[in-house]
Amino acid sequence: MAKEFRLPDIGEGIAEAEIARWLVREGASVKEDQDLVEIETDKALVTLPSPHDGKVNKLHAKEGDIVKVGQVLVSFDDGATAAPSPHPAEKRDMGTVVGSIGEEEEVVEMPQAVKAIPAVRARAKELSVDLNRIRGTGPDGRITKDDVERAAREAGDKAELTPDSYGPVERIPLRGLRRTIAKHMQEARQHVPDVTIWEDADISDLEIVRSKEKQIAAAKGVKLTYLPFVIKATLSALRAHPYLNATLDEQAEQIVVKKYYNIGIAVDTTDGLMVFAIKQADQKNILELAKEISTLAEKARTRKLELAELKGSTFTITNYGVIGASYGTPIINYPEVGILGIGKIEDRPVVHNGQIMIRKIMPLSLAFDHRIVDGVEAARFLNVVIDHLKDPNLILLEGK
């Protein structure tokens, strides 16, 4: 009896997904709950299992295709069941699977497992490199990032570029995380009349505190950066100026002020920028924030973030200073109202207490939705952030 498996509604308002990687082939016999396919949806990789036993008659989409919720992914014939695997823990490493069809035995070739960490897979996808065609040079034949980039260069040497009116061009499909980012940025630009203001924070005293406390943090296995302190300063500003912790319900014509504080943190990955959400950030101390940032950032880089960890932020912070930029005009993480950009921290000569001194300066850029927040309120918000970074005692006095 033929059965169909359709792209399910996995929640979070997801309407479509990209086929990232098939884990079975047509003709293969599969067991219920065996992994069928990896899909990419709203910045997260999700593995979908088989809903029942059966033989895969047809895969209805190719890797890289965009499919809608409810669209057929796989057709099954449940009259054939897979024989038990002699090595259940290595089901993807099997060269063949033997299935019974009527009175005959069919031997179906299965794809060999590709040994590559998620970051390498992401890089291969970015460069349109087929991992199945690469011989890994890492331990146990594992494919490395260098293997992927070497394969991409070799393919580029052989590729024929299509010309436009002026010369050769390369056409790269807009897929994966880059496609999600492009859609989200366009949505933000269409909805939000944003304005950006810039200011500098003198964090010389904060540096003294951080330098002292980071040794204590290191003893607990936590890397203490400036970011947890910026989050704390931002929380104080959000309490004082709640319209920056809000969204605009355009249909109802209401400003929806959030009474909780989930801080989004933008992190660079090989696929592009991802934003994870630190939930209830106001209930966590400096070390707890530092630990969670480190954990979620690593999950983002290895594409192991869950959908719930990518959702629910009320205000976002992005740190482009780590790559050497000082000021920017960050795009608001729609439907939020504001985003704070952190620039490159550097020593500068400034006037301090009437004297020219070398002080440690953190550039800040605040972009805000001018429909909800006026420039005066945005400036006051940024001043609260700066005051708390200048005087870390204010952060310590407020505790959690």
Assess contact for 207 and 360: CB atoms under 8 A.
yes
Assess contact for 3 and 52: CB atoms under 8 A.
yes
Provide CB contacts within 8 A for 200, sequence distance 6+. 361, 362, 363, 364, 386
Catalytic residue status for 241? no
Tokens of 77: 């014939």
* Among 216, 240, 243, CA closest to 368: 243
Distance CA 3, CA 131 (A): 31
Q: Would you call 240 exposed, middle or buried from its count of C-beta atoms within 10 A (0-12, 13-18, 19+)? A: middle
Tokens 């088989």, located at residue: 50
Per-residue DSSP letter, 299: H
Q: Which of 52, 184, 370, 388 is catalytic?
A: 370
* Among 281, 214, 223, 257, CA closest to 372: 257
| Amino acid at the residue 329 | T
Phi, psi of 276 (to 5 degrees): -100, 160
Distance CA 379, CA 382 (A): 5
Q: 8 to each of 41, 47, 88, 175, how far by Cα in Å? A: 12, 12, 26, 20
Coil vs helix vs strand at 100: strand
**What separation, in Å, do the N-terminal and C-terminal C-alpha atoms of the chain show?**
59
Coil vs helix vs strand at 351: strand
Coil vs helix vs strand at 9: coil
Provide CB contacts within 8 A for 44, sequence distance 6+. 303, 305, 306, 307, 310
Distance CA 155, CA 112 (A): 22
Phi, psi of 343 (to 5 degrees): -95, -175
Residues taking part in catalysis: 370
